[in-house]
Structure 1
Amino acid sequence: MTSTARAQQQAPGSIFAGQLRATTVGILTLITLIAFEAMAVSAALPTAARELHGLAAYGWAFTGFLVANVVAMVASGQICDARGPRPAVLVGVACFVAGLLVAGTATTMLQLVAGRVVQGLGGGLMITAIYVVMGEAYPSRLRPPLFAATSSAWVVPSLIGPAISGLLAQHASWRWVFLGLAPFCVLGGVLIAPTLRKLATPTTRTGRFAGPSRLARAVAVAAGVAALEQAGQHPSLWAIGIAVAGLLVLVWGIRRLVPAGTFRVRPGVSAAVALRGLLAGAFFGVESTVPLSLTLQHGYGATVAGLPLACAGLSWAFGSWVQGRADDSRGPHVRARLVRAGFGCVAVAAALMAVAAVPGPTAWCAFVSWLIAGFGAGLAMSSASVLLLNFTTDATRGADSAALQLADSTANALTTGIAGVLIAAAARHAIGFTAAFTGVDLAMCAIAAVGFAAAVRARPART
């Protein structure tokens, strides 16, 4: 009997029932901490870089985290398929805590960057392994509400994380943005540890996902993502060459890191991975330009221009809550419809943002549009994750979970990089800002439309 079957036999009534309570709290604690670091650290790093006289290395605090995170995701999937999620979670927690301590006690910018790299390793190990724990420790009917809860765990950090980080950096010390999280990370690891001990260790490995070549390709993907991020942040003629090289390296690496048929949206796990990538690309490609569009095209200040993102965080949580109430016992078509509805919302929102990008009395469209986009992303992101866990097997759950995270990260990097290139072209007066913003929005609308059409393939693979 598989570990999944044993978990389903226990049939707890909710994600907070009995033996699952501590595990759920532990998972939510760890995800909240990962989210807080992702959302809040950007507000504290400028102060840290100035104090440590390391502004020249400022970008590496982000790039180092990103590169380490991508490699660790793949390594975590390989570890989970070979030895179960326990080693990846425990080592991930240890690395994350160590990274917080190294960064929080930094006396040089090099030490701060090193701490961020170690944090990236810990975060990547944890996030993939947590997906595996969700698949093994929770019956299928509890996964939708669990994903709703984990989506909510991103909302509070996204709303208040930057503000808290900024206040700490200004009135106390930027170091507390790192050091203050370490005890909570240890607590999350302690809460989830009993469940990790109960999960069975895999008895077989699949040759498709084993071997050091996977890690080499993960390094290639990480390098490609970093190159695209760098090119998007510092656009120039040289940056175009870097972006092209990064894209080629990324494609070479990712082809063997995602399930066969992902680029054709083949039914089964491949479709879930592909749809998650398409959705992340469309959503974050537009979101990266929303505040800038309102600032440049309508003259709004930073606070008002950022409100659509806060609204999207709330509607995302609501959309995830709605998908958590869906009845999966009726068949996979229920999830496919939710994914399709989510893509439809994002497509409509991107089209509305194209309208909002035109100077004039159209700014209100941005606020409406990003409420719709957040709701759609909440529906479809969580549903794609549920589909992946429903379609995968015990033997490949780790690698498939890593592929889902990779699709998310790489699509995000690609579309935000495209947005950065267009905005840079507008800054050099090669094109107008209206053309740049509407070009980004309509391109992401087209990607969402592709996802809308492809969502019908979100069904089990034929055996």
Structure 2
Amino acid sequence: MTTASPTSVDPVPIPLDDDPGGGVLGGRYRALTLGIVSVVLVIAFEATAVNTAMPTAARQLDGVSLYAFAFSGYFTSTLFALVVSGQWCDRRGPLQPLFTGIAVFGVGLVVAGTAPGMWVFVAGRSIQGLGGGLVIVALYVVVGRAYPERLRPSVFAAFSSAWVLPSIVGPLVAGAVTQHLGWRWVFLAVPVLILLPLAVMGPALARSEREHPVAKGGGFDRRRTRLAAAAAVGAGLVQYAGQRLDPIGLIPGAAGAALLVPAVLGLLPAGTLRAVRGLPAVILLRGVSAGAFFSAEVFIPLMMTSQRGLSPTLAGLTLTSGGLTWALGSWLQGRPAAERFRVPMIRGGFVLTVVAIGGAALVLVPAVPAWVAAVAWGVGGLGMGLTIASVSVLMMKLSRPEDAGANSAALQMSDALGNVLLTGLAGVLFAALGGGSVAALHDTAEGAGSPGAFAVVFLTSIGVSLLGALLSGRVRTRT
């Protein structure tokens, strides 16, 4: 992959703007903004709803033993699709991969919703992952090509805001649908919702393609495609090994690492793992922030049910505050005056994440009220909103036009890898310290797990967040 130099980059060209003072909902950009935000909204609703419907689906399909693969199948296929989408966008523009991804995502929903057995269900989830990977990279490229630089922070803020409503009502709606209509309708109803954003943004996106034709052509890079396949298979094997937690699991774990490490080194910008100044550090910090936050978040509902006796519904609502404040953080970084404080906002976001994880961990002390975790996670959501959106803005700013797709794919890959690797590490630590298997997170009795196991998981996430804060200054290029 050709990446922008960390010390000298060509800016992404600013599109023609008939209304220089207008915003993302101004006349020129309104249809495109509403369309792409609607796509994010649909994907966000599906993501939150699936978590609610999945246990019922696995039981009715007699596939509880394959429960984890319904998630890992989505993830591994997404890794492959991210790289394919990046190349496709750079060579043909984002229109084709975006609409293809939406169609493939819809096909995956139908396959999963009509699955006669668990293996077909897992296949449907894997097809969804292919579509989701194509879509998310294409959306980032659309932002870089169709919007002037001054509006991109606001668009990324809108992306985050699109997750707020699904994070609040998604589990409730999915639970009601699962109970009264059946879990299959959680999947089969979503493809219909995709039609509206397609109709809204289609003409505006086609106009943007005409105004900004892609200079690069040709076929796909076969080497990068093979590396993407190796990364996906390697990540799947590592996840499988982490779920086994026995000596036999060392074999797929070693094989997965042998595939994953060289693939990651070949797919991410040179110097990413060394936090080289500029784009490599930006890409790395995306994975660090996502991994630290979500590896802690996955254990909070379990802690609330097993250590404090909350119902699953109340335990899940503990995380709702994070979704609301995430949108607030994204909105704050999108204000015009915030551009001068991009690096402090990223560092501050990591510090807020540290405070949030530490605050949530205090609930392990019986004298601390359970609601403290909800307040703490609101602080963490604010930090993530500042960090994630700011990192996305910097990635676009440091990307040459012909590399926007590849760099967007690298950003999303870093996010996914940081999430799965740090969550996997947390799961291993949790089980090793007497917490029990992470595979049983959705079926845990009160009193299960060890407070010490939770504490080690949270301390690990805090350490990773502190590392992110220390590295934040490296997103600044030398002048």
TM-score, length-scaled by structure 1 = 0.91
Deviates more, 1:121-130 or 1:368-377: 368-377
Distance of 2:17 and 2:457 partners within structure 1: 45
Shift of 1:8: 5.3
Amino acid paired to 2:96: P
Aligned to 1:450: 467
Structure 2 matches for 1:369-448, cutoff 5 A? Answer: 369-427=376-434, 433-448=450-465
Does structure 2 retain, via aligned residues, the 8 Å contact 1:235–1:420? no
SS at match of 2:29: helix
Amino acid paired to 1:348: V
Aligned to 2:213: 201
SS at match of 2:14: helix
Of 38, 43, 62, the residue aligned with 2:47 is: 38
Does structure 1 retain, via aligned residues, the 8 Å contact 2:435–2:454? no
Identity of aligned residues (%): 43
Question: Is 1:239 matched up with 2:256?
Answer: no
Aligned to 1:4: 13
Does structure 2 retain, via aligned residues, the 8 Å contact 1:134–1:143? yes
Does structure 2 retain, via aligned residues, the 8 Å contact 1:97–1:186? no
Distance of 1:264 and 1:221 partners within structure 2: 19
Amino acid paired to 1:390: K
Does structure 1 retain, via aligned residues, the 8 Å contact 2:12–2:144? no
Of 225, 229, 247, the residue aligned with 1:215 is: 225
Distance of 1:249 and 1:444 partners within structure 2: 26
Amino acid paired to 1:414: L
**CA gap 1:360/1:222 in 2 versus in 1, 3 angstroms:** farther
Gaps of 5+ in 1: none
Amino acid paired to 1:340: R
1:130-171 Cα offsets, whole Å, 9 max, x none, are: 000001101111111111111011122122212211211110
Structure 2 matches for 1:152-167, cutoff 5 A? Answer: 152-167=161-176
Give the total of aligned pairs: 457
**CA gap 1:396/1:461 in 2 versus in 1, 3 angstroms:** farther
1:40-82 Cα offsets, whole Å, 9 max, x none, are: 1122233333444444443332222111111111100010111
Distance of 1:150 and 1:385 partners within structure 2: 11
Aligned to 2:442: none
Aligned to 1:272: 282
Structure 2 matches for 1:264-413, cutoff 5 A? Answer: 264-327=274-337, 330=340, 334-361=341-368, 363-413=370-420
Distance of 2:360 and 2:257 partners within structure 1: 27
Shift of 1:94: 1.4
Does structure 2 retain, via aligned residues, the 8 Å contact 1:352–1:366? yes
Does structure 2 retain, via aligned residues, the 8 Å contact 1:64–1:113? yes
Shift of 1:206: 11
1:219-248 Cα offsets, whole Å, 9 max, x none, are: 222223323333444433333554454334
Distance of 2:241 and 2:400 partners within structure 1: 38
1:256-300 Cα offsets, whole Å, 9 max, x none, are: 111112112222221211111111111111111112222233333
Shift of 1:316: 1.0
Aligned to 1:66: 75
Aligned to 2:151: 142
Distance of 2:478 and 2:114 partners within structure 1: 50
TM-score, length-scaled by structure 2 = 0.88
Does structure 1 retain, via aligned residues, the 8 Å contact 2:289–2:388? yes
1:164-190 Cα offsets, whole Å, 9 max, x none, are: 112111101222212211122122223
Aligned to 1:230: 240
Distance of 2:373 and 2:221 partners within structure 1: 47
Does structure 2 retain, via aligned residues, the 8 Å contact 1:308–1:371? no
SS at match of 2:28: helix
Distance of 2:349 and 2:455 partners within structure 1: 21
Amino acid paired to 1:133: V
Shift of 1:440: 1.4
Structure 2 matches for 1:96-135, cutoff 5 A? Answer: 96-135=105-144
Shift of 1:23: 0.8
**CA gap 1:345/1:328 in 2 versus in 1, 3 angstroms:** closer
Deviates more, 1:242-251 or 1:410-419: 242-251
Shift of 1:7: 3.9
**CA gap 1:106/1:294 in 2 versus in 1, 3 angstroms:** closer
Shift of 1:342: 0.2
Aligned to 2:267: 257
SS at match of 1:6: coil
Does structure 2 retain, via aligned residues, the 8 Å contact 1:72–1:121? yes
Distance of 2:304 and 2:120 partners within structure 1: 37
Does structure 2 retain, via aligned residues, the 8 Å contact 1:221–1:253? yes
Shift of 1:329: 5.6
Deviates more, 1:389-398 or 1:354-363: 354-363
**CA gap 1:406/1:7 in 2 versus in 1, 3 angstroms:** farther
Amino acid paired to 1:450: L
**CA gap 1:3/1:351 in 2 versus in 1, 3 angstroms:** closer
**CA gap 1:302/1:233 in 2 versus in 1, 3 angstroms:** farther
Does structure 2 retain, via aligned residues, the 8 Å contact 1:286–1:444? yes
Shift of 1:3: 7.6
Deviates more, 1:7-16 or 1:190-199: 7-16
**CA gap 1:236/1:358 in 2 versus in 1, 3 angstroms:** farther
